[in-house]
Amino acid sequence: MRFSDPVKIAYGNIKGAKFRSFLTILGIVIGIASVIIIIAIGSSAQELILDQVKGVGSNLIGVLPGASEEKGPPASAMGVIITTLKYNDLKAILQKSNVPDAVDGAAYISGNNTVQYEDKDKNFTFQGTTASYVNVENAEIDKGRFFTKEEETSLSRFAVIGAEVATDLFGEGGNPVGKRIKIGKQNFEVIGVFTKRGSAAFSNQDTAIFIPLFTAQKVMLGVDYLNFIRVKVDSEANIDRAKLDITATLREQHDIKKAIDDDFSVRDQKAGLDAITNITGAIKYFLAAIAAISLLVGGVGIMNTMLISVNQRIREVGLRKAIGAKNSLIMLQFLVESIFVTLLGGVIGIIIGILVTFLAAVIIQKLGYHWPFIVTMSSILLATGISLLIGVFFGIYPARKAAKLNIVEALRYE
């Protein structure tokens, strides 16, 4: 018997029972496609998240309120409101005697409210920040200017708006500088418009409105704390030293004697990237493992189909044995048939998985996100390997059953 013979027989059996073969292969197709899609979309989502974090800058240090474990997120990052971080903390950090490697820093507090201009109104996020924001974030002004150091603490009603805000409120090509808008119940003069910047650190900068820090705190929100601080360091090589200096400065500011009592968290981008990579990687493969469970259902279907095939071909097996076919060849025939069916389902599943992943990438890119189309060779090899294993594992029992048939009983079988 040639190796191609069982393949031809398997193909003939599939053609002879199309509907049953379709249902048999369907479980494998769904399982393999799910594994490919989840791994691919997980990898693309991971790239999207990492790109968002990288967009902030590699020489920045983030200071957040609330303590945290070394590799865990601060409580404030989980939506808990913590009021321990103040404007004076930023001033202390920017003193050269405290943090020599810090070249600048910005404070942030955010809110959300309805913004009105003439007959137009829409909800936007407003960001209270300091005059140093432009330098820290490497942001560029398209029209007008940003507010000054004096204006950040003087309760000035000035606003600098994102590119999309300008388009939504003032139309394409309009010049908002000098116009007055109302945020909530407060009137603000638009003094600047940012160039289009896109998303960074999970927020769309083009749909935000920036106002002086103290105006946001005292007039709009009625608070005296900060959401977070970003510190710009002179060199990426000095990040670790600057983190230690910032930590020491804040402990002195908050009168903290022991590290266990810290009410703040100091993080650099690398730590954030490592944590995000570990978390998203674990989630991606966990979901892929869950999707692979559906392959067990497909495997059971393969085994049932092969058992039916054995029962339908008992006389054929008897004839083969009568003319000298060994048990090992009979077993090989049914194993190859089982593997052929699972590999066929695997190939179809891989093709469907790649197509769905490609369509998802195209649609998400059209929405304006950095979403690379990623289908790794490792995921394709993994899917192929799983198909082979299922074919062998669930084909062994029917193959052994066929090989053990008694020649005389098989030939008498009606």
What is the pLDDT of the chain when averaged over all its residues? 81
In degrees, to the nearest 5, what angle opens at C-alpha 215 toward C-alphas 118 and 222? 105
Residues facing residue 64 across a β-bridge: 265
Residue 33's pLDDT band (cuts 50, 70, 90): confident
pLDDT digits 0-9 by tens, 145-191: 999 999 999 999 999 999 999 999 988 877 899 999 999 999 999 99
CA distance 165 to 207: 5
List all residues 6 or more positions away from 117 whose beta carbon is below 8 Å from its beta carbon: 169, 170, 179, 180, 181, 182
Q: Half-sphere exposure of residue 112, counting CA atoms within 13 Å on the CB side? A: 4
Task: Read off the amino acid at residue 48.
Answer: L
Q: Is the pLDDT of residue 31 over 60?
A: yes
Residue 407's pLDDT band (cuts 50, 70, 90): low
Q: Any idea where the domains of the chain sit in the sequence?
A: 4-52+285-412, 83-262
**Torsion region of 326: left, alpha or beta (phi above 0 gives left; psi -120 to 50 gives alpha):** beta
Residue with the two structure tokens 């989980």: 78
3-state secondary structure of 218: helix
pLDDT at residue 345, as a whole number: 83
CA distance 145 to 140: 9
Alpha helices in 160-268 (DSSP H): 163-170, 213-214, 239-253
pLDDT digits 0-9 by tens, 95-128: 999 999 999 999 999 999 999 998 888 899 999 9
Task: Read off the amino acid at residue 291.
Answer: A
Cβ(61)–Cβ(233) below 8 Å: yes
- Least confident span in 236-240, 247-251, 349-353, 375-379: 375-379
pLDDT at residue 272, as a whole number: 62
- Least confident span in 80-84, 323-327, 358-362: 323-327
pLDDT at residue 42, as a whole number: 78
Residue 203's pLDDT band (cuts 50, 70, 90): low
Q: Half-sphere exposure of residue 403, counting CA atoms within 13 Å on the CB side? A: 16
Cβ(62)–Cβ(229) below 8 Å: yes
Phi, psi of 229, deg, nearest 5 = -130, 140
pLDDT at residue 337, as a whole number: 76
Percent of the chain's residues with pLDDT above 90: 33
DSSP sequence for 192-208: EEEPP--EETTEEGGGE
CA distance 254 to 256: 6
pLDDT at residue 383, as a whole number: 77
pLDDT digits 0-9 by tens, 359-375: 988 888 887 677 888 88
For residue 192, which of 152, 137, 142 has the smallest C-alpha distance? 142
pLDDT at residue 220, as a whole number: 94
pLDDT at residue 95, as a whole number: 93
Residue 296's pLDDT band (cuts 50, 70, 90): confident
DSSP sequence for 100-137: TTEEEEEEEEEEEEEEEETTEEEEEEEEEE-TTHHHHH
pLDDT at residue 56, as a whole number: 58
For residue 250, which of 107, 18, 401, 89 has the smallest C-alpha distance? 89
